[in-house]
Amino acid sequence: MNRAARVATSEVRRHPRPAGRFGLYVGRHPKKILNAIQLARRAMKLTGALQEALTDPRAKAEATSAMASITTATRLVREAGLANALADEHIRRELRRASTHASRAIAFARHPKPRRSLAVPLVATVAATALTGAAYFGLNRYLGIHEASVEIRPDPAPPTGSGAESTSGPTGRSSSVA
């Protein structure tokens, strides 16, 4: 038995009369109960989106700006008086600013910026470091550079006396061309 069923049965044992009345109500109004269940499920889905909206710094900043503009407009209405508030351009400008900020906050909350994972830059950094290290050690081994001596050996002299032309490549090895 899951936790919800255990809680429900314990409540029925503790309060049998209200549980019986609720059972009769459910029997008489099943559509209302189903609507309530659907609303509860929708609300549970919306809480995740609401949590994301609350953690979005852009939405927070816009909501704060909207509240500041509303507060300023309220103060100006008190100073100017209710009769003169409709004609005051400064009050209208603050209310327009508050409306703009509020609509931007709602837009940011509805469509949050996708969060980029740190894994991609981390993998790229590690891969670049590994390639750089491999290239460094490979070059040292290719050139014969050791930690004790930093000496680069010259290419060996081509063989003489055979009459065949020889070429030496970048590896220092000679190959005969006939």
At 29-61, the pLDDT tens digits run 778 778 877 877 787 777 776 677 778 888 889
Q: Is pLDDT above 70 for 168?
A: no
CA-based torsion, 92, 93, 95, 99: positive or negative: positive
Residues 126-142 have pLDDT tens digits of: 788 887 877 777 767 76
Q: Which of 158, 160, 153, 150 is nearest to 174 (CA)?
A: 158
66 and 44 assigned to the same domain: no
Q: How many domains does the chain have?
A: 3
pLDDT in tens, 2-21: 787 787 788 878 888 887 88
Q: With contact defined as beta carbons under 8 Å apart, do 172 and 155 qualify?
A: yes
Mean pLDDT computed over every residue of the chain? 77
Domain identity same for 16 and 33: yes
Q: Band of the pLDDT at 101, cuts 50, 70, 90?
A: very high
Residue count (the chain):
178
Looking at residue 98, what is its pLDDT?
Answer: 92
Q: Rounded to an integer, what distance in angstroms lies between the CA atom of residue 55 and that of residue 140?
A: 51
What residue numbers bound the domain in which 28 lies?
A: 1-55
Whether 171 maps to a domain, the answer reads: no
SS (H, E, C) 52-92: HHHHCHHHHHHHHHHHHHHHHHHHHHHHHCHHHHCCCHHHH
* 167: CB partners within 8 A, 6+ apart: 174, 175, 177
* Helical (H) or strand (E) element with 167: strand 165-168
Structural domain contains residue 108? yes
The answer to whether residue 9 is domain-embedded is yes
Average pLDDT over residues 63-70: 91
- Same-domain pairing of 22 and 6: yes
Structure tokens at 17: 């009369």
